[in-house]
Protein backbone atom coordinates (compact mmCIF):
# COMPACT_ATOMS: atom_id res chain seq x y z
CA UNK A 1 0.00 0.00 0.00
CA UNK A 2 1.38 3.43 -0.95
CA UNK A 3 1.53 6.05 1.78
CA UNK A 4 -0.43 9.26 1.43
CA UNK A 5 0.04 10.56 4.95
CA UNK A 6 2.92 8.90 6.83
CA UNK A 7 6.54 9.56 5.94
CA UNK A 8 9.71 8.36 7.64
CA UNK A 9 8.88 10.33 10.79
CA UNK A 10 5.10 10.48 11.12
CA UNK A 11 2.88 12.92 9.23
CA UNK A 12 4.31 16.31 8.34
CA UNK A 13 3.40 19.26 6.13
CA UNK A 14 2.47 22.91 5.91
CA UNK A 15 -0.40 23.70 8.26
CA UNK A 16 -3.87 24.39 6.89
CA UNK A 17 -2.80 22.78 3.64
CA UNK A 18 -2.56 19.21 2.33
CA UNK A 19 -2.36 16.61 5.10
CA UNK A 20 -1.79 19.01 8.01
CA UNK A 21 -5.27 20.37 8.68
CA UNK A 22 -7.53 20.23 11.72
CA UNK A 23 -9.81 17.86 9.84
CA UNK A 24 -6.99 15.39 9.15
CA UNK A 25 -5.67 15.70 12.71
CA UNK A 26 -9.07 14.83 14.14
CA UNK A 27 -9.36 11.83 11.81
CA UNK A 28 -5.85 10.67 12.79
CA UNK A 29 -6.96 10.84 16.43
CA UNK A 30 -10.02 8.75 15.66
CA UNK A 31 -8.04 6.21 13.64
CA UNK A 32 -5.12 5.90 16.08
CA UNK A 33 -7.53 5.73 19.00
CA UNK A 34 -9.53 2.98 17.35
CA UNK A 35 -6.34 1.07 16.48
CA UNK A 36 -5.27 1.04 20.13
CA UNK A 37 -8.63 0.29 21.75
CA UNK A 38 -7.41 -3.08 22.94
CA UNK A 39 -8.71 -4.80 26.04
CA UNK A 40 -11.44 -3.82 28.49
CA UNK A 41 -9.52 -1.17 30.49
CA UNK A 42 -10.15 2.58 30.26
CA UNK A 43 -7.98 3.72 27.36
CA UNK A 44 -5.65 6.69 27.52
CA UNK A 45 -3.56 8.82 25.12
CA UNK A 46 -0.78 11.27 26.02
CA UNK A 47 -0.41 14.36 23.81
CA UNK A 48 2.52 16.77 23.81
CA UNK A 49 3.51 19.52 21.40
CA UNK A 50 6.22 22.02 20.61
CA UNK A 51 5.74 25.79 20.56
CA UNK A 52 4.30 26.36 17.08
CA UNK A 53 1.25 28.57 16.72
CA UNK A 54 -0.59 25.78 14.91
CA UNK A 55 -0.07 23.43 17.86
CA UNK A 56 -3.19 24.80 19.58
CA UNK A 57 -5.35 24.00 16.55
CA UNK A 58 -3.97 20.51 15.99
CA UNK A 59 -3.99 19.64 19.69
CA UNK A 60 -7.68 20.52 20.03
CA UNK A 61 -8.53 18.63 16.86
CA UNK A 62 -6.76 15.52 18.08
CA UNK A 63 -8.44 15.75 21.48
CA UNK A 64 -11.77 15.76 19.65
CA UNK A 65 -10.74 12.77 17.58
CA UNK A 66 -9.50 10.63 20.46
CA UNK A 67 -12.34 11.43 22.85
CA UNK A 68 -14.93 10.78 20.14
CA UNK A 69 -13.84 7.13 19.92
CA UNK A 70 -13.75 6.68 23.69
CA UNK A 71 -10.17 7.49 24.67
CA UNK A 72 -9.24 9.69 27.64
CA UNK A 73 -6.62 12.34 26.87
CA UNK A 74 -3.73 13.55 29.02
CA UNK A 75 -2.33 16.87 27.78
CA UNK A 76 1.31 17.68 28.54
CA UNK A 77 1.61 21.08 26.85
CA UNK A 78 4.97 22.04 25.29
CA UNK A 79 7.34 19.13 25.93
CA UNK A 80 10.20 17.46 24.01
CA UNK A 81 9.47 14.43 21.86
CA UNK A 82 11.44 12.10 24.19
CA UNK A 83 9.34 13.34 27.12
CA UNK A 84 6.17 12.23 25.32
CA UNK A 85 7.72 8.81 24.68
CA UNK A 86 8.70 8.54 28.35
CA UNK A 87 5.36 9.65 29.75
CA UNK A 88 3.43 7.38 27.40
CA UNK A 89 5.04 4.47 29.25
CA UNK A 90 5.02 6.01 32.72
CA UNK A 91 1.32 6.90 32.55
CA UNK A 92 0.47 3.48 31.09
CA UNK A 93 -1.08 5.11 28.05
CA UNK A 94 -2.15 3.10 25.03
CA UNK A 95 -0.72 5.60 22.57
CA UNK A 96 1.35 8.79 22.63
CA UNK A 97 1.28 11.80 20.29
CA UNK A 98 3.86 14.51 19.65
CA UNK A 99 2.67 17.46 17.59
CA UNK A 100 5.82 18.87 16.02
CA UNK A 101 7.64 19.36 12.74
CA UNK A 102 11.02 19.05 14.47
CA UNK A 103 13.59 21.38 12.84
CA UNK A 104 11.20 22.73 10.17
CA UNK A 105 10.03 26.38 10.18
CA UNK A 106 6.96 27.35 12.21
CA UNK A 107 4.50 27.23 9.29
CA UNK A 108 4.97 23.45 9.13
CA UNK A 109 3.75 20.98 11.71
CA UNK A 110 3.58 17.24 12.16
CA UNK A 111 2.15 14.32 14.10
CA UNK A 112 4.38 11.61 15.57
CA UNK A 113 2.75 8.57 17.16
CA UNK A 114 4.13 6.26 19.85
CA UNK A 115 2.90 2.87 20.97
CA UNK A 116 2.37 1.90 24.63
CA UNK A 117 6.04 0.82 24.84
CA UNK A 118 7.20 4.36 24.03
CA UNK A 119 8.61 3.43 20.64
CA UNK A 120 7.45 4.99 17.38
CA UNK A 121 4.78 2.97 15.63
CA UNK A 122 5.64 0.05 13.41
CA UNK A 123 5.01 0.14 9.68
CA UNK A 124 2.06 -2.21 10.20
CA UNK A 125 0.41 0.14 12.69
CA UNK A 126 0.99 3.18 10.49
CA UNK A 127 -0.44 1.42 7.43
CA UNK A 128 -3.48 0.29 9.41
CA UNK A 129 -4.11 3.84 10.63
CA UNK A 130 -3.60 5.20 7.12
CA UNK A 131 -6.17 2.76 5.74
CA UNK A 132 -8.72 3.89 8.34
CA UNK A 133 -8.35 7.53 7.32
CA UNK A 134 -10.28 6.73 4.15
CA UNK A 135 -13.10 5.01 6.03
CA UNK A 136 -15.98 5.95 8.29
CA UNK A 137 -14.77 5.28 11.83
CA UNK A 138 -17.34 4.12 14.40
CA UNK A 139 -17.81 6.63 17.22
CA UNK A 140 -18.20 5.81 20.88
CA UNK A 141 -21.62 5.72 22.49
CA UNK A 142 -22.58 8.97 24.21
CA UNK A 143 -21.82 7.61 27.67
CA UNK A 144 -18.39 6.29 26.52
CA UNK A 145 -16.96 9.54 25.13
CA UNK A 146 -13.51 10.23 26.57
CA UNK A 147 -12.40 12.99 28.93
CA UNK A 148 -9.42 15.34 28.61
CA UNK A 149 -7.23 16.77 31.35
CA UNK A 150 -3.88 18.54 31.69
CA UNK A 151 -1.26 17.36 34.15
CA UNK A 152 0.89 19.85 36.03
CA UNK A 153 3.94 17.73 36.83
CA UNK A 154 4.97 16.64 33.31
CA UNK A 155 8.01 18.94 33.26
CA UNK A 156 9.17 17.74 36.67
CA UNK A 157 8.81 14.09 35.70
CA UNK A 158 10.93 14.57 32.59
CA UNK A 159 13.58 16.67 34.33
CA UNK A 160 13.94 13.95 36.97
CA UNK A 161 14.37 11.28 34.28
CA UNK A 162 16.95 13.38 32.41
CA UNK A 163 19.02 13.93 35.55
CA UNK A 164 18.76 10.24 36.44
CA UNK A 165 20.60 9.38 33.20
CA UNK A 166 23.82 10.46 34.95
CA UNK A 167 25.48 8.66 37.88
CA UNK A 168 24.78 10.26 41.25
CA UNK A 169 28.43 11.31 41.64
CA UNK A 170 28.45 13.44 38.48
CA UNK A 171 27.94 17.16 39.02
CA UNK A 172 28.38 20.03 36.58
CA UNK A 173 29.61 22.56 39.13
CA UNK A 174 32.11 25.02 37.68
CA UNK A 175 30.95 24.62 34.07
CA UNK A 176 29.54 27.57 32.17
CA UNK A 177 27.20 26.23 29.49
CA UNK A 178 25.22 27.96 26.76
CA UNK A 179 21.94 26.14 26.10
CA UNK A 180 20.10 26.99 22.86
CA UNK A 181 16.58 25.57 22.87
CA UNK A 182 15.56 26.81 19.39
CA UNK A 183 12.53 28.57 20.93
CA UNK A 184 11.10 25.08 20.96
CA UNK A 185 9.74 22.34 23.16
CA UNK A 186 12.69 22.15 25.58
CA UNK A 187 12.81 25.86 26.40
CA UNK A 188 11.93 25.20 30.03
CA UNK A 189 13.10 21.67 30.79
CA UNK A 190 16.61 21.54 29.28
CA UNK A 191 18.03 24.64 31.02
CA UNK A 192 16.37 23.59 34.29
CA UNK A 193 17.86 20.08 34.23
CA UNK A 194 21.36 21.35 33.52
CA UNK A 195 21.12 24.12 36.14
CA UNK A 196 19.89 21.67 38.77
CA UNK A 197 23.04 19.62 38.17
CA UNK A 198 25.15 22.58 39.24
CA UNK A 199 26.15 24.34 36.02
CA UNK A 200 26.03 28.04 35.27
CA UNK A 201 23.55 28.19 32.42
CA UNK A 202 23.31 30.90 29.77
CA UNK A 203 20.10 30.47 27.82
CA UNK A 204 19.28 31.47 24.26
CA UNK A 205 16.30 30.49 22.15
CA UNK A 206 14.01 30.31 25.19
CA UNK A 207 11.42 32.95 24.25
CA UNK A 208 8.91 31.20 21.98
CA UNK A 209 6.16 33.30 20.45
CA UNK A 210 4.56 30.69 18.20
CA UNK A 211 6.42 31.81 15.10
CA UNK A 212 10.12 31.88 16.02
CA UNK A 213 10.78 28.17 16.56
CA UNK A 214 14.07 27.22 14.82
CA UNK A 215 14.35 30.79 13.51
CA UNK A 216 18.08 31.62 13.32
CA UNK A 217 18.69 29.46 16.39
CA UNK A 218 18.94 25.85 17.47
CA UNK A 219 20.82 22.91 16.02
CA UNK A 220 20.22 23.89 12.39
CA UNK A 221 21.29 27.54 12.78
CA UNK A 222 24.41 27.61 14.93
CA UNK A 223 25.57 31.23 14.62
CA UNK A 224 23.69 32.32 17.75
CA UNK A 225 25.04 29.60 20.05
CA UNK A 226 28.57 30.02 18.66
CA UNK A 227 28.53 33.77 19.24
CA UNK A 228 27.10 33.30 22.73
CA UNK A 229 29.75 30.73 23.72
CA UNK A 230 32.66 32.87 22.57
CA UNK A 231 31.26 36.16 23.90
CA UNK A 232 30.48 34.73 27.35
CA UNK A 233 33.65 32.67 27.70
CA UNK A 234 31.55 29.53 28.18
CA UNK A 235 33.09 26.08 28.38
CA UNK A 236 30.68 24.57 25.86
CA UNK A 237 27.39 25.17 24.05
CA UNK A 238 24.60 22.72 23.32
CA UNK A 239 21.99 23.39 20.63
CA UNK A 240 18.71 21.48 20.40
CA UNK A 241 16.12 21.52 17.63
CA UNK A 242 12.43 22.39 17.86
CA UNK A 243 11.31 19.14 19.49
CA UNK A 244 14.65 18.50 21.26
CA UNK A 245 15.36 15.04 19.84
CA UNK A 246 18.60 16.15 18.23
CA UNK A 247 21.75 17.86 19.48
CA UNK A 248 24.72 19.70 18.04
CA UNK A 249 27.55 20.83 20.34
CA UNK A 250 29.85 23.84 20.07
CA UNK A 251 33.23 23.84 21.84
CA UNK A 252 34.68 26.81 23.74
CA UNK A 253 36.28 28.13 20.53
CA UNK A 254 32.96 28.17 18.70
CA UNK A 255 33.75 25.09 16.59
CA UNK A 256 30.96 22.70 15.60
CA UNK A 257 30.83 19.16 16.97
CA UNK A 258 28.30 17.18 14.91
CA UNK A 259 26.48 13.93 15.57
CA UNK A 260 29.30 11.78 14.19
CA UNK A 261 31.80 13.17 16.70
CA UNK A 262 29.25 12.79 19.50
CA UNK A 263 28.62 9.14 18.60
CA UNK A 264 32.38 8.54 18.61
CA UNK A 265 32.69 10.08 22.07
CA UNK A 266 29.68 8.40 23.67
CA UNK A 267 30.40 5.03 22.04
CA UNK A 268 34.02 4.90 23.19
CA UNK A 269 33.12 6.20 26.66
CA UNK A 270 30.60 3.40 27.14
CA UNK A 271 33.01 0.85 25.67
CA UNK A 272 35.67 1.90 28.20
CA UNK A 273 33.15 1.35 31.01
CA UNK A 274 32.08 -2.01 29.59
CA UNK A 275 28.50 -0.88 29.01
CA UNK A 276 28.44 -0.53 25.21
CA UNK A 277 26.23 -3.21 23.69
CA UNK A 278 26.36 -4.63 20.17
CA UNK A 279 30.10 -4.10 19.76
CA UNK A 280 29.71 -0.71 18.13
CA UNK A 281 27.43 2.09 17.03
CA UNK A 282 24.57 2.33 14.52
CA UNK A 283 24.41 5.29 12.12
CA UNK A 284 23.10 6.05 8.63
CA UNK A 285 24.81 5.93 5.26
CA UNK A 286 25.43 9.68 5.61
CA UNK A 287 27.81 9.39 8.57
CA UNK A 288 31.37 10.30 7.71
CA UNK A 289 33.94 7.67 6.78
CA UNK A 290 36.18 9.22 9.43
CA UNK A 291 33.79 7.94 12.12
CA UNK A 292 33.91 4.43 10.72
CA UNK A 293 37.71 4.42 10.62
CA UNK A 294 37.97 5.85 14.14
CA UNK A 295 35.66 3.22 15.61
CA UNK A 296 37.53 0.45 13.80
CA UNK A 297 40.73 1.75 15.37
CA UNK A 298 39.05 1.35 18.77
CA UNK A 299 38.00 -2.21 17.99
CA UNK A 300 34.38 -1.18 17.42
CA UNK A 301 32.07 -1.40 14.43
CA UNK A 302 29.85 1.09 12.63
CA UNK A 303 26.64 -0.37 11.27
CA UNK A 304 24.91 1.75 8.62
CA UNK A 305 21.21 2.08 7.79
CA UNK A 306 19.05 4.09 5.44
CA UNK A 307 18.63 7.77 6.28
CA UNK A 308 16.14 8.31 9.10
CA UNK A 309 16.32 7.78 12.84
CA UNK A 310 13.56 5.15 12.69
CA UNK A 311 15.86 2.91 10.62
CA UNK A 312 18.70 3.48 13.08
CA UNK A 313 16.38 2.50 15.93
CA UNK A 314 15.15 -0.61 14.12
CA UNK A 315 18.71 -1.84 13.61
CA UNK A 316 19.62 -1.04 17.22
CA UNK A 317 16.73 -3.14 18.49
CA UNK A 318 17.50 -6.00 16.09
CA UNK A 319 21.22 -6.11 16.90
CA UNK A 320 21.14 -5.33 20.60
CA UNK A 321 22.91 -1.96 20.28
CA UNK A 322 22.43 0.80 22.83
CA UNK A 323 24.03 3.76 20.99
CA UNK A 324 23.04 5.09 17.59
CA UNK A 325 22.29 8.30 15.77
CA UNK A 326 22.70 10.53 12.77
CA UNK A 327 25.27 13.05 11.65
CA UNK A 328 22.53 15.68 11.96
CA UNK A 329 22.45 15.17 15.72
CA UNK A 330 19.76 12.61 16.46
CA UNK A 331 21.24 10.64 19.35
CA UNK A 332 19.49 7.47 20.52
CA UNK A 333 20.61 5.94 23.80
CA UNK A 334 18.39 2.98 24.54
CA UNK A 335 19.60 2.69 28.12
CA UNK A 336 17.86 6.00 28.82
CA UNK A 337 14.96 6.30 26.39
CA UNK A 338 13.11 4.92 23.39
CA UNK A 339 13.79 7.73 20.92
CA UNK A 340 16.35 10.44 20.21
CA UNK A 341 16.94 12.77 23.17
CA UNK A 342 19.15 15.82 22.71
CA UNK A 343 19.15 16.75 26.39
CA UNK A 344 20.15 13.28 27.61
CA UNK A 345 22.87 13.07 24.96
CA UNK A 346 24.06 16.54 25.96
CA UNK A 347 24.40 15.42 29.57
CA UNK A 348 26.56 12.46 28.50
CA UNK A 349 28.87 14.90 26.73
CA UNK A 350 28.97 17.21 29.75
CA UNK A 351 29.73 14.28 32.06
CA UNK A 352 32.64 13.26 29.82
CA UNK A 353 33.91 16.83 29.95
CA UNK A 354 33.83 16.82 33.75
CA UNK A 355 35.49 13.42 34.07
CA UNK A 356 38.25 14.13 31.56
CA UNK A 357 39.28 17.50 32.96
CA UNK A 358 39.94 18.57 29.36
CA UNK A 359 38.61 21.53 27.43
CA UNK A 360 35.82 20.78 24.96
CA UNK A 361 38.08 21.47 21.97
CA UNK A 362 40.54 18.83 23.22
CA UNK A 363 37.93 16.20 24.05
CA UNK A 364 35.30 16.37 21.36
CA UNK A 365 37.18 16.32 18.05
CA UNK A 366 38.17 12.66 18.08
CA UNK A 367 38.79 12.17 14.38
CA UNK A 368 39.42 14.18 11.23
CA UNK A 369 36.47 14.09 8.89
CA UNK A 370 36.99 12.75 5.40
CA UNK A 371 36.09 15.28 2.65
CA UNK A 372 32.40 14.77 1.91
CA UNK A 373 30.22 16.40 -0.76
CA UNK A 374 26.46 16.13 -1.26
CA UNK A 375 24.60 17.55 -4.28
CA UNK A 376 20.95 17.27 -5.28
CA UNK A 377 19.76 16.91 -8.86
CA UNK A 378 16.13 17.77 -9.56
CA UNK A 379 14.46 15.99 -12.47
CA UNK A 380 11.11 16.31 -14.22
CA UNK A 381 10.11 12.66 -14.30
CA UNK A 382 11.07 9.12 -15.17
CA UNK A 383 13.79 7.04 -13.52
CA UNK A 384 17.17 8.52 -14.44
CA UNK A 385 19.03 6.06 -12.20
CA UNK A 386 17.88 3.25 -14.52
CA UNK A 387 19.59 4.87 -17.54
CA UNK A 388 22.51 2.81 -18.89
CA UNK A 389 24.86 5.78 -19.15
CA UNK A 390 24.09 6.84 -15.59
CA UNK A 391 24.79 3.31 -14.38
CA UNK A 392 28.11 3.30 -16.24
CA UNK A 393 29.21 6.61 -14.70
CA UNK A 394 28.26 5.36 -11.24
CA UNK A 395 30.19 2.12 -11.76
CA UNK A 396 33.27 4.07 -12.85
CA UNK A 397 33.00 6.34 -9.79
CA UNK A 398 32.71 3.35 -7.45
CA UNK A 399 35.82 1.84 -9.01
CA UNK A 400 37.75 5.08 -8.48
CA UNK A 401 36.80 5.20 -4.80
CA UNK A 402 37.62 1.60 -3.89
CA UNK A 403 39.79 1.71 -0.78
CA UNK A 404 39.68 5.52 -0.74
CA UNK A 405 36.09 6.49 -0.03
CA UNK A 406 32.37 5.86 -0.45
CA UNK A 407 29.55 6.71 -2.78
CA UNK A 408 25.87 7.03 -1.74
CA UNK A 409 23.18 7.76 -4.31
CA UNK A 410 19.54 7.82 -3.31
CA UNK A 411 16.31 9.25 -4.65
CA UNK A 412 14.37 11.49 -2.28
CA UNK A 413 11.28 9.91 -0.84
CA UNK A 414 9.29 13.17 -0.95
CA UNK A 415 10.31 15.05 -4.12
CA UNK A 416 11.76 14.39 -7.62
CA UNK A 417 15.37 14.75 -6.51
CA UNK A 418 18.38 12.45 -6.72
CA UNK A 419 20.86 12.93 -3.87
CA UNK A 420 24.48 12.23 -4.78
CA UNK A 421 27.02 11.99 -1.97
CA UNK A 422 30.65 10.97 -2.15
CA UNK A 423 33.48 11.09 0.33
CA UNK A 424 37.13 10.18 0.12
CA UNK A 425 40.65 11.11 1.05
CA UNK A 426 41.09 13.28 -2.08
CA UNK A 427 38.69 16.24 -2.01
CA UNK A 428 39.31 16.96 -5.70
CA UNK A 429 38.44 13.41 -6.67
CA UNK A 430 35.27 13.55 -4.55
CA UNK A 431 34.12 16.70 -6.31
CA UNK A 432 34.91 15.26 -9.75
CA UNK A 433 32.98 12.06 -9.01
CA UNK A 434 29.89 13.88 -7.71
CA UNK A 435 29.82 16.33 -10.61
CA UNK A 436 30.19 13.54 -13.19
CA UNK A 437 27.23 11.62 -11.74
CA UNK A 438 25.08 14.75 -11.43
CA UNK A 439 25.81 15.67 -15.06
CA UNK A 440 24.88 12.16 -16.20
CA UNK A 441 21.60 12.25 -14.24
CA UNK A 442 20.69 15.65 -15.71
CA UNK A 443 21.41 14.43 -19.21
CA UNK A 444 19.33 11.28 -18.73
CA UNK A 445 16.45 13.29 -17.31
CA UNK A 446 16.49 15.93 -20.05
Residues with catalytic function: 102
Tell me how far apart the terminal alpha carbons of the chain are, to the nearest angstrom.
30
Q: Report the distance separating Cα 371 and Cα 368, nearest Å.
A: 9
**HEC readout, the chain:** CCCCCEECCEEEEEECCCCECHHHHHHHHHHHHHHCCCCCCCCEEEEEECCCCCHHHHHHHHHHHHHHCCCEEEEEEECCHHHHHHHHHHCCCCEEEEECCCCCCCCEEEEEEECCCCCECCHHHHHHHHHHCCCCCCCCCHHHCCCEEECCCHHHHHHHHHHHCCCCCCCCCCCEEEEECCCCCCCCHHHHHHHHCCCEEEEECCCCCCCCCCCCCCCCCCHHHHHHHHHHCCCEEEEECCCCCEEEEEECCCCEECHHHHHHHHHHHHHHHCCCCCCEEEEECCCCHHHHHHHHHCCCEEEEECCCHHHHHHHHHHHCCCEEECCCCEEEECCCCCCCCHHHHHHHHHHHHHHHCCCHHHHCCCCCCCCEEEEEEECCCCCHHHCHHHHHHHHHHHHHHCCCEEEEEEECCCCCEEEEEEEECCHHHHHHHHHHHHHHHHHHHC
CA distances from 93 to 30, 46, 87, 116, 288 (A): 16, 6, 8, 6, 39
Amino acid sequence: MSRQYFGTDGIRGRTNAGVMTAEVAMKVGQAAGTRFLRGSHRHRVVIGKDTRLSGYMLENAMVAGFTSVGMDVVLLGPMPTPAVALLTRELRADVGVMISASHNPYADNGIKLFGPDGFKLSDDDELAIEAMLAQDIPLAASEEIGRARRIDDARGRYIHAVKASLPDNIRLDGLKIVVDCANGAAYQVAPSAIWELGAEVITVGVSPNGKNINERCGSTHLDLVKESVVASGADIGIALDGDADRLIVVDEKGQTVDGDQLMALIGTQLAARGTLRGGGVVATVMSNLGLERYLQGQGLTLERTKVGDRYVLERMKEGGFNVGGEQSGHMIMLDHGTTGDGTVAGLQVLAALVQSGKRASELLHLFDTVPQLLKNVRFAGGKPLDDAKVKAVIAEAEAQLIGKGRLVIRPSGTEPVIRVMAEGDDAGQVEQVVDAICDAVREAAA
